[in-house]
Amino acid sequence: MQLINLTTNFLGKNFIFHKIIDSTQAEIFRLIKNNNIKNGTVVMADIQTNGIGTQGKKWYTDETNNIAFSLFIQLNCNIRKLNYITVKIAQIILDIFKTEYGITLEIKLPNDIMYKGKKLGGILTQTKTIKEQCKYIVVGIGINTEKDTFTEEIKNIATSIKKEFGVQINVIKFISKFCNEFEKEILRRKEN
């Protein structure tokens, strides 16, 4: 499996797919620890058994065809160049849903993707900084596209694209489009 229609220089060129894994975010950090990762690596999973949300919460990806991926970008730039990067990531996601599928979603600042007060997705942004220099950024994105069943604790606060709109999302196409747009944003910030 590979990403399609990539226009990037590096983001998504090294693409790793797992049918099942504990967490795409944890896998990126394992690759970093083992010094076995290329700039722009994207790790995607069909199912995550221990997905990571913000503030240590669990992100459930227990059904297939939902969006669950993490990416790694080496930066070596001042951390201030990444101000509001999570909000910008959320905006890119909303733009893709709007232009590709005619779906209008909302952002609950700083990192939740919402529809009518229910959570559809989330963004986890982690950086490695030394003093003011950001060495790299790791971004994890999870979006309920096909999810049908929700646990008792989240069933009133979570939803999915399929449940709300009856639309099927091409996950590979979505991630590819995201990589194309996000790389442009990163390069813009590094240049300024």
Give the pLDDT score at 148: 80
10 located within any domain? no
174 located within any domain? yes
Q: How confident is the model over 159-179, as pLDDT tens digits?
A: 999 999 999 999 999 999 999
Would you place residue 54 in the very low, low, confident or very high pLDDT band (cuts 50, 70, 90)?
A: low
1 located within any domain? no
21 located within any domain? yes
Give the pLDDT score at 49: 84
Give the pLDDT score at 156: 84
Domain that includes residue 142, residue range: 15-191
Higher-pLDDT residue of 12, 146: 12
Domain total in the chain: 1
6 located within any domain? no
DSSP codes of every residue in the chain: ----S---SSTTTSEEEEEEES-HHHHHHHHHHTT---TT-EEEEEEEEEEE-GGG-EEEE-SSSSEEEEEEEEEEEEGGGGTTHHHHHHHHHHHHHHHHH----EEETTTEEEETTEEEEEEEEEEEEETTEEEEEEEEEEE-SS-----TTTTTTB--HHHHH-PPP-HHHHHHHHHHHHHHHHHHHHH-
Query: Which CATH number belongs to the domain containing residue 181 in this structure?
Result: 3.30.930.10
Higher-pLDDT residue of 137, 60: 137
73 located within any domain? yes
7 located within any domain? no
Query: Is-above-0.85 flag for pTM?
Result: yes
Q: How confident is the model over 84-112, as pLDDT tens digits?
A: 999 999 999 999 999 999 999 999 998 99
8 located within any domain? no
